[in-house]
Amino acid sequence: MPSVKVLAKRQEERGPRFTGGHSLCAGCAEPMIVRTVLNAIEEPVVVASPTGCLEVASSRYPTTAWNVPWIHSAFENAAATISGVEAAYKALKRKGKIAKKIRFVVFGGDGGTYDIGLQALSGALERGHDFLYVVLNNEAYMNTGVQRSSATPRCANATTSPAGKVIPGKPQDRKDLTEIVVGHHVPYVAQASVSHLIDLANKVERAMQYEGPKFINVYSTCPLGWRTPWDSAINVAKLAVETCYWPLYEVVEGVYKITYKPKEKLPIEEWLKPQGRFRHLFRPEKREDIIRELQEAVDRHWEELLRKERCTQRE
């Protein structure tokens, strides 16, 4: 599995696949995730991106941050686009016009994946196309004004789920897209975080060992939408992992494996406090009832994940 030195050497030898000079916000986690994923793949890569922060900030005419073949798709159809490219590649291989191994990757935000692009993703997974789908999960529609998505956590203050006297932010729980993908019975599914980049690189390498659809949901800090300091991306994401709000695990051919277990599971408050989108839970009076419910939900999901790991590894 790759180390930091191995990833750096790969980039030095072949040049950066994703360059600087883009216009992503200071402190955005997405460039770190994209570079880590692309450097963990040895073969040539074709990338598709739906509309979103990454697409807008990396492709301002007449410039581009991409040093690989890259396709911009509409918000809803990146998975369908990459399916067509992968199908064309297979046809050309059968005709003997292409011999080399080429990998196909989608980088999509939560809005373009959890919501608008879910139908295209589900169809591509069911058909069995050979590609890797990476979710840059910053938990809202950050590119268009921090509107809530189905990835937005309960009680987060977003522009379309504002916190007020009656409703304390988004009233619904976030969608568990990772488990929805597991239900498609694809070879490889995982959750990762920008706070654990070697874990992410390892998961990309393991994913590429399998033929068919691969999916990695990556926790991607957004200082603008989460209202955190621009230099806090790694620390805030790490708190999500240490509190078990965002567990790091993989499901390989139906078998669960948790790839990181905190030595001491932190209370959910430690993750909530640094984020301005949850500030209303702590002022003027602390909403202990809501924080307790959020903690109970995290504990319940973590215990469920531990059970899945025990049960699937025994079979």
What is the domain-level CATH number for residue 263?
3.40.50.970
Q: With beta carbons less than 8 A apart as the criterion, state whether 221 and 277 touch.
A: no
Separation of alpha carbons 18 and 66, rounded Å: 5
Q: With beta carbons less than 8 A apart as the criterion, state whether 229 and 256 touch.
A: no
Segment 118-145 shows an average pLDDT of 97
- pLDDT score at 78: 97
- pLDDT score at 8: 65
- pLDDT score at 13: 76
Q: How is residue 3 written in tokens?
A: 């180390």
Assign 110 to helix, strand or coil.
Answer: coil
Q: What's the structural domain count of the chain?
A: 1
pLDDT single digits (tens) 132-149? 999 999 999 999 999 999
Task: Look up the pTM and report it.
Answer: 0.95
Q: How is residue 117 written in tokens?
A: 């692009």
- pLDDT score at 21: 87
Q: With beta carbons less than 8 A apart as the criterion, state whether 168 and 154 touch.
A: no
- pLDDT score at 15: 83
Q: Which domain holds residue 45?
A: 4-314
pLDDT single digits (tens) 229-287? 999 999 999 999 999 999 999 999 999 999 999 999 999 999 999 999 999 999 877 79
Separation of alpha carbons 293 and 47, rounded Å: 40
Q: With beta carbons less than 8 A apart as the criterion, state whether 128 and 137 touch.
A: no
pLDDT-derived band at 306, boundaries 50, 70, 90: very high
Number of H helices, E strands in the chain: 11, 8
pLDDT single digits (tens) 183-194? 999 999 999 999
**pLDDT(10) > 80:** no
Segment 103-128 shows an average pLDDT of 97
Q: How is residue 311 written in tokens?
A: 């049960």
Residue 185: which residues within 8 A CB-CB, separation 6 or more? 254
pLDDT-derived band at 2, boundaries 50, 70, 90: low
**pLDDT(314) > 80:** no
pLDDT-derived band at 315, boundaries 50, 70, 90: low
- pLDDT score at 150: 97
Of 77, 26, 6, give the one whose Cα is nearest residue 48: 77
The secondary element (H helix, E strand) that includes residue 306 is helix 288-314
**pLDDT(172) > 90:** yes
Kindly report the average pLDDT of the chain as a whole number. 95
- pLDDT score at 285: 79
Distance of alpha carbon 262 from the chain centroid: 20
Separation of alpha carbons 315 and 313, rounded Å: 6
Residue with tokens 């373009």: 112
Which residues, in sequence order, are bridge partners of residue 141? 147
Strand order, beta sheet including 70-73: 70-73, 45-50, 103-109, 132-137, 214-219, 188-193, 248-252, 255-260
